[in-house]
Amino acid sequence: THFGFREVPTGDKQKLVGQVFSSVAGNYDLMNDLMSAGIHRIWKRYFVATCQVKRGDRVLDLAGGTGDIAALLKDRVGDGGELVLGDINGAMLRVGRDRMTDRGNVRGFEYVQCNAETLPFPDASFDLVTIAFGLRNVTDKDAALREMLRVLKVGGQARVLEFSAVKAEWFKPLYDFHSFQVLPRLGKLFARDADSYQYLAESIRQHPPQDELKRMMETAGFARCGYKNLSGGIVAIHTGYRV
C-alpha cells in the first residue's frame, strides 16, 4: 500500500530537485535528525568508516550538501588529504561550507558547484568518490555513475549510500506510514514545507532497488560491484572499483 504516491515527470525533475533543496537547506540537518530519529548519523559513520581510503588521499564527495560525509572523511584522509565537496545546489553548498568553517575545517577543503552528470574534473583525479543520499536526486543516474568512474584513479573505490528497498514484509506498511503520513507532517511542522518532504518519500520509492543499482554500476564499467544493506534495507551501501 502506497499512500498518495505521485510520479514526477523526469523533464521537470532537475528543477524540482533544485527547488526542494533550496527550500530545505536551512532546516536540512534538523530534519534529518527528526525524520530518522538520529539514525542517519550512524549510517553515515558506518559508510565512512568502511570506505577504502587512507591518509593523504584525494576524495570527492558528490551531492555533498551540508558536509556530513566530508567532515567524517576528513579524519580518515588527515591533514595531508584533500576533500572536494561537489553539489549542484549553491544554497546547500554554502550551508556546508559555513558549517565546515565553524568546525575549524578549512585547509584541504574545496567546494565545487557541479552536476554529478557532468563533472568538471580530469580523468583519474580521485582515490575515492562518495555520494550519500544524492544519487536518487540525479536525473541521469547512468551518466553520474560513468562520471564517477571516469574521475577515479585505477584501484580507486566508488561508494553510494542511498535509501533502498526494505526487505521484511511486516515492516513495509509501517515504513510507508512513516514516509507518507509522518514525514510530510514533520516537514510542515518544523520546516513549514510539507511538499519537499512528500518529494523525499516519493523519490525513495522510485530509486532502483539493491540489485538493479548494482547492475547499473556494472554497466557503467565498475568492477567487483556489491552492496550491503543497513537497517534491513532502509538504506544500502553500494561499492564498485576502477580497475
Q: Which residues bind ligand SAM (CB under 6 A)?
A: 17, 21, 62-66, 68-69, 87-89, 92, 115-117, 132-134, 137-138
| 115 assigned ligand-binding residue | yes
Q: What is the DSSP string of 35-53?
A: HHTTHHHHHHHHHHHTS--
Give the residue with the Cβ less far from ligand SAM, 133 or 197.
133
Give the residue with the Cβ less far from ligand SAM, 100 or 155.
100
Q: At what angle do helices 194-206 and 183-191 cross, to 10 degrees?
A: 150
Q: How far is CA 61 from the centre of its chain?
A: 9
| 87 assigned ligand-binding residue | yes
Q: At what angle do helices 28-36 and 183-191 cross, to 10 degrees?
A: 140
Q: How far is the CB of 243 from ligand SAM (least distance, A)?
A: 25
| 229 assigned ligand-binding residue | no
Q: How far is CA 105 from the centre of its chain?
A: 21
Q: What are phi and psi of 239, to 5 degrees?
A: -130, 140
Residue in the shown chain whose Cβ atom is closest to ligand SAM = 65
Q: How far is CA 133 from the centre of its chain?
A: 2
Contact predicate 243/218, CB 8 Å: no
Give the residue with the Cβ less far from ligand SAM, 65 or 233.
65
Give the residue with the Cβ less far from ligand SAM, 132 or 166.
132
Q: How far is the CB of 62 from ligand SAM (least distance, A)?
A: 6
Q: What is the dihedral of CA 194, 112, 225, 44, to 10 degrees?
A: -50
Q: How far is the CB of 45 from ligand SAM (least distance, A)?
A: 12
Q: How far is the CB of 169 from ligand SAM (least distance, A)?
A: 27
Give the residue with the Cβ less far from ligand SAM, 157 or 223.
157
Rounded CA-CA distance 78/62 in Å is 19
Q: How far is the CB of 87 from ligand SAM (least distance, A)?
A: 5
Summarize the annotated binding site as residue ranges.
66, 87, 115-116
Binding residue numbers for S-adenosyl-L-methionine: 66, 87, 115-116
